[in-house]
Structure 1
Amino acid sequence: MSYDPPPVYSRTSSPGGSVTPDMLEEDPSPSVPRYSTVFALHGRPTPGSRSARPLETEHTFSLQSGKTAWATLKCVSRAGTSTNAPHYIGGDDISGSVNLDLTNALYINAISLSVRGRIITAVTEDGSFPFLDHSVTLWSKAHGDPRHASYTQNIKHEGKLTPGEYSWPFSVPFPTTVPLPGDTTPHQIPQTFLEREALVTVQYDLILRIGRGALRPDKIITVPIVYIPKIVPEAPSPLRQLAYHEASPLLGPSADPEGWLTLPTVVVHGSPSDGPAKTECKLSIASPLCYARGTVIPCSLTLRSQYPRALDDIAAPEAIIVKLTRRVKHSQLGLLQAVRKPKIQTKVVETAVWWPSSDISTDPSERRMEGEIHLSRRLLSSSDFPPFVVDYFVEFLAFRSGAIPHDPPDAILVAQRVSIATIPARGPRMREFSTRNNT
């Protein structure tokens, strides 16, 4: 996929301040990133989503009689190797061929190819709900003799194929949307999903069916395939694009209001050694609120209090807890019951990394922290498909500080729904300012 060159802007403001030596000291706690893993000045490019490989990996699947393959399905995909499952992204065509090598005559009514999508919630038959079944007929006896220069319906054919070789090339668009029962609105189909701990699976198959007639069993090749929808975020603000282009620190919410969403102010109360204290906390996350896998969610936190000791207690990387949580909602009772009787499974997928901001406030009653949430390249993309909804939330949890007790300790102070895309936004490549633990 090609991208336009980054636009050229003129900087109207600068972050101010600089990195001080104390910002580079190691934190003694092994549970949080060391300051030596933070690249506060320039950052480095995010790994981004894996570049889409070209549609050039050939896969071969066959039906055999003894040791001889008599029916072969070949397809081309974006998979890394031919031994991996075929891999497609939204907008791809599934191309290939079906080949027969017959040593004896064979009666065939029709040869069809279909793309099937299912939501699976149990191993029993009533735990599988098909939502996609797109089928094309490659040949039927109504088409006439397949060895004829052009199939014609005026040449009677009884379906008996004589010994020899036959081939049918195909190119089938992978459907990206489907209507649901009782709803004509097209819905974007979800990503392939398979996790050991999950209560639901989303599976796609490419199916070759060689129809033999009413009294003969059909011959079938079923190939599991991987599907990734094409979801692209909107471009960041012009000032953030400029920062990425120049490898400079990101401007904060006050200098680049277009580039941030500031969540409602949270007030926390604590009991530091110098008496009861009230602290106002403003968490901001990068806008637009859609982020590609393999990039980051930039975060900014501003803390204000008239009690310096209170600020010192919570303006520390190990005290600030911001998490990215995934919620998968599905039904175990079929497609029509998805909204009325959903099952919800929640999982924390990543925790933000924090460090003191390079934009140091001159106000002694204010502290500024910068952070980011690393997004794995393998992250499941967001989905608003009613039978399989995938939502993500950035959650600001209670501070992990003895000076600010909170019951329960993992209480959510404020949360914001965000979306996870599969392809990076157009423009300069995003940069990250701390070492990631995921890939």
Structure 2
Amino acid sequence: MIPDPVVPPPEPAPPPPGRRARRGWLVLTAFVIAAAAVGGWRYRVTRPDYVLARGDEAVRAGDWAAASRAIDRLEAAGAGDHAAVLRGEYFLATDRPDLALGALSEIKRESPFHLRSAAKVGRCLLALGNLAEADRVLNHVLDSEPDNIDALRALAAVAYDLGQMPAAVEHLEAVARLDPADARPHRLMGLINKDLNRYEPAEAAYRESMRRGLAEPARGEVVVELADVLVRAGRFADALALLDAGPPAPGPAGELARAEALRGLARRADAVAVADRAIVEHPTDGALLRLRGQLHLDDGNAPAAVVALEAAAARLPADYQTHFLLAQAYTATGRTADATRSAARAEELRKALERATTLTREAMDRPWDAAVRLELATVTETLGEPKLAALWRAAAAACRTR
């Protein structure tokens, strides 16, 4: 019997020509899209704007090697203005304002980077102490870009260094409006108002700076500064509550404010305990020694007060309150000649303080008056503030060159 022949299965029918063509087009399209994506990426990452943006990020992160590579890439690509801007920002961030100024000066007025570089030039001039020219350049930027935050920040510093406090506050308020996360403008506004004995606006500014999230150690410093404002305003319980809420302040200032608040609340024993503990840790702090002498006077212990206040006067030779209290202590111990001498010194310092207050107001009213600032330099030197005197002399020099 002959077996049936084996019939092979039929071959599958070839796909219709349309399907085959579509499959080929899909593969080809995928390759084209991939090639285009690679080409687009290469184009994007080699463009000067992209390289500059990445360089800016490197400068902000303190990645100096990456920033330097970005500058080299921009120069190699012939993007001179991009490279000059980034080089200037690199030098500014590394505290070389003279080199930054040289780099940024390469950018011409017609460049699209003119205003951006001008704001940085203003910062360079500020760092180099050329306040008058910094003021001119930064105001030029604001004429075209009123909300240029770099220019506003720098102008606030220029105005502060010139003693133009109303202008400084105006610029700080603008910075705070434009950057709601920045706590620094309100801290400086608090300090300005504190120095001018404007306690309510000082408190409001300090509290807003804390609300915005100051980092340590700045937050602890602001707590002490605000506590000092509250003590001066006679709000001793509020000052103590603020200090108790923390964070702990560095140095002796926090313990000084705490002891003063306790004394104001008539908690004498607690004030003495805090002051004594702080003096053990900071035995040469003049303000703590002055407070300890005052507490001895409160207790009627004039001899001990003399010892503490003489030590304070040796460290704070131009402090009015110290010499005033020392005159009282000398009187209580029968040292009449010493009391007369200390009282005369206290009166001399009181008059200097009054004159400094008057001149500070005049400096605010006459923002470019060199003579007022020169006299302020002399008076503040009398008050034992050589650094402040140097600032007033620099401000006077800037006013003369305007």
> Under a length normalisation based on structure 2, what TM-score does the superposition of the two structures give?
0.19
Structure number with bigger Rg: 2
More strand by share: 1
Ranked by relative contact order (alpha carbons within 8 Å, sequence separation 6 or more), the top structure is 1
